[in-house]
Amino acid sequence: MDNNDIRIKKNLRSLKKLEYKIRFACRFDQETMIKEYQRQKFVWDEFFDLKNTGDSRSRYSLQQLTIKSKEEFKEVVDEFFFSVYYRFYTENGFLNFGMYDPQILKWMGLPADAGFEDIRRKFRELAKKYHPDKGGDADIFIELMDKYNSLI
């Protein structure tokens, strides 16, 4: 393991601690913090696999992250924080109009901070592409409709 791997691991572990502070630390007293830390499902676990096990639950392995440029790595971190805050707002009933599920936006090929007009425009583009009457894939079209309906 080289210094770059160690540096990336350290940075990613600090992201998990930040997620904990954002999502859970304000809810628990000091005594229950450790138990809750172990019980909670973290967005971090969905994003990162530091052991390079090829776990399909994680989006990025350490190996994938080490070959990314600084800009690409920053995009991964931004995507992670959008997901953390989306989960926090959803869990606490703060979700406001104008914030959309970042995973669905990524599936549609949109940035996590896309607005309603961007979503609508991309939906129409994808609907034309995947509509069964236009020679598209019916299963993908149905999935697109479901995801779009969950956003609006």
Task: Give residue limits of the domains in the chain.
Answer: 3-91, 102-151
Q: pLDDT tens across 85-137, in order?
A: 888 888 777 766 667 888 889 899 988 888 889 999 999 999 999 999 988 88
Helix (H, G, I), strand (E, B) or coil at 41: coil
Q: pLDDT tens across 17-40, in order?
A: 888 888 877 665 656 655 665 666
How far does Cα 132 stand from its chain's mean position? 29
Is residue 79 pLDDT above 80, yes or no?
A: yes
CA distance 146 to 127: 12
Whether the CB-CB separation of 133 and 108 falls below 8 Å is answered with no
The β-bridge partners of 48 are 60
The mean pLDDT of 134-143, rounded to a whole number, is 90
Whether the CB-CB separation of 46 and 61 falls below 8 Å is answered with no
What are the start-end ranges of the E strands in the chain?
A: 48-49, 60-61
* Rg, the chain, Cα only: 18
Q: pTM surpassing 0.85?
A: no
Superfamily per CATH, domain 102-151: DnaJ domain (1.10.287.110)
User: Is residue 61 within a helix (H) or strand (E), and if so which, with residue range?
Assistant: strand 60-61
Q: Which two tokens stand for residue 91?
A: 């869990």
Q: pLDDT tens across 34-75, in order?
A: 566 566 688 888 888 887 666 567 888 888 888 888 898 898
Buried (b) or exposed (e) across 108-121, using 16+ Cβ within 10 A?
Answer: bebebebeeeebee
pLDDT at 24: 76
Phi/psi of residue 48, each to 5°? -125, 140
Helix (H, G, I), strand (E, B) or coil at 129: helix
The three-point CA angle 23-35-80 to 5° equals 30
The three-point CA angle 41-93-44 to 5° equals 25
